[in-house]
Amino acid sequence: MSGFGRVALIGIGLINGSLARVLRREGAAREIVACARRRATLDRALELGLCDRATTDPLEAVRGADLVVLGTPPAAVVPAAAAIAAGLADHAIVTDVGSIKAEIVRGMQGVLPGPDRFVGGHPVAGTEHSGPDAAFDTLFVKRRCILTPTGTTDADAVATVRRLWELTGAQVDLMTPEHHDKVLAITSHLPHLIAYTIVGTVADLEDREKTDVFKYAAGGFTDFTRIAGSDPTMWRDVFLQNKEAVLEMLGRFSEDLSALQRNIRYGEGDALFDLFTRTRAIRRGVVEAGQAYVRQADDPLADEP
């Protein structure tokens, strides 16, 4: 089968909405059925042409589906799987797009009738915007999508989900859920935590200082506000569900921050210069790996959360 048959999208926001746009553009789904809690979300998805049918009933959404993509906030992924379990066809393949993987992959064991046909997934692409209106079909182009099959995951299911993401223009990598969570803790979760801290500190400043901050916000602070403007539900879930890896990275970060504090206090310019030279080389590595984009008004490629 070259297409994906009937596709059920549970949650139809930025990520599943963008996936829907790709499926539409490529004519790769016989039918797209969307499911969300609120009728308003579904009406908007229908208006935008993201789906053929829409329902608030998870069982109805997955009836006869060949492929199901769970695109709710992270903590709602396993409950959403539990809500669709009784309606799944035997051959249905289930995947998700949650930003954390170990807890989700573990959770599926207990709730899905065919857990081996579940493939954990995380497209490492996104913006700070949410909901069906935020979706666009080039979101995943040249970005990574990580799949986290376990030792018992069905090989055909992995191949189908890989094909789905390759269709979006993403490059697919496979790794264990635990490794995913460690890598993302440092590349994504810690930077978000730092942005939340810095922007939170500004929020606590005296009014007069705050006004100046907004007036003179240079690139650095503006970038932090963009990251800190990300969806609060999703990020609350990420930190609570990837607690161990985040706390480990935060421990290391705190030590490095203390060292930097000491360097500044004692005027250790050479140490600062050495660190900034090393970090500049890392930036070059990121650019060379094709993972840095210059944001322009007409360029939908955005930095990933």
Residues that bind ligand NAP (CB under 6 A): 11-16, 36-38, 41, 71-74, 76, 80, 97-99, 122-123, 126-127, 130-131, 231, 234, 305
In the complex, least distance from residue 302 CB atom to ligand NAP, rounded to whole angstroms: 8
Nearer to ligand NAP, 39 or 284 (CB): 39
In the complex, least distance from residue 89 CB atom to ligand NAP, rounded to whole angstroms: 20
Nearer to ligand NAP, 55 or 72 (CB): 72
Sign of the Cα torsion 4, 92, 234, 144 reads negative
Q: Cα separation of 69 and 67, whole Å?
A: 7
Q: Cα separation of 120 and 98, whole Å?
A: 8
Sign of the Cα torsion 225, 230, 231, 236 reads negative
Strands 67-70 and 93-96: parallel
In the complex, least distance from residue 251 CB atom to ligand NAP, rounded to whole angstroms: 24
| Contact between 90 and 128 (Cβ < 8 Å) | no
In the complex, least distance from residue 129 CB atom to ligand NAP, rounded to whole angstroms: 8
In the complex, least distance from residue 297 CB atom to ligand NAP, rounded to whole angstroms: 19
Nearer to ligand NAP, 86 or 205 (CB): 86
| First and final C-alpha spacing in the chain | 33
Nearest to 11 by CA among 39, 34, 33: 34
Question: C-alpha 296: how far from its chain's center?
Answer: 21
Residue whose tokens read 């990574």: 144
Axis crossing angle, helix 102-111 with helix 77-84, rounded to the nearest 10: 20
| Contact between 85 and 58 (Cβ < 8 Å) | no
In the complex, least distance from residue 44 CB atom to ligand NAP, rounded to whole angstroms: 9
In the complex, least distance from residue 79 CB atom to ligand NAP, rounded to whole angstroms: 7
Nearer to ligand NAP, 214 or 295 (CB): 295
Q: Which helix (H) or strand (E) holds 228?
A: helix 219-228
- At 269, list the tokens: 């310019």
Nearer to ligand NAP, 72 or 168 (CB): 72
Nearer to ligand NAP, 24 or 268 (CB): 24
HSE-up of residue 13 (Cα within 13 Å, Cβ side) = 20
Nearer to ligand NAP, 138 or 263 (CB): 138
In the complex, least distance from residue 36 CB atom to ligand NAP, rounded to whole angstroms: 3
Nearer to ligand NAP, 169 or 275 (CB): 169
- Radius of gyration of the chain measured on its C-alpha atoms: 21
Which amino acid is located at 212 in the chain?
D
| Contact between 66 and 208 (Cβ < 8 Å) | no
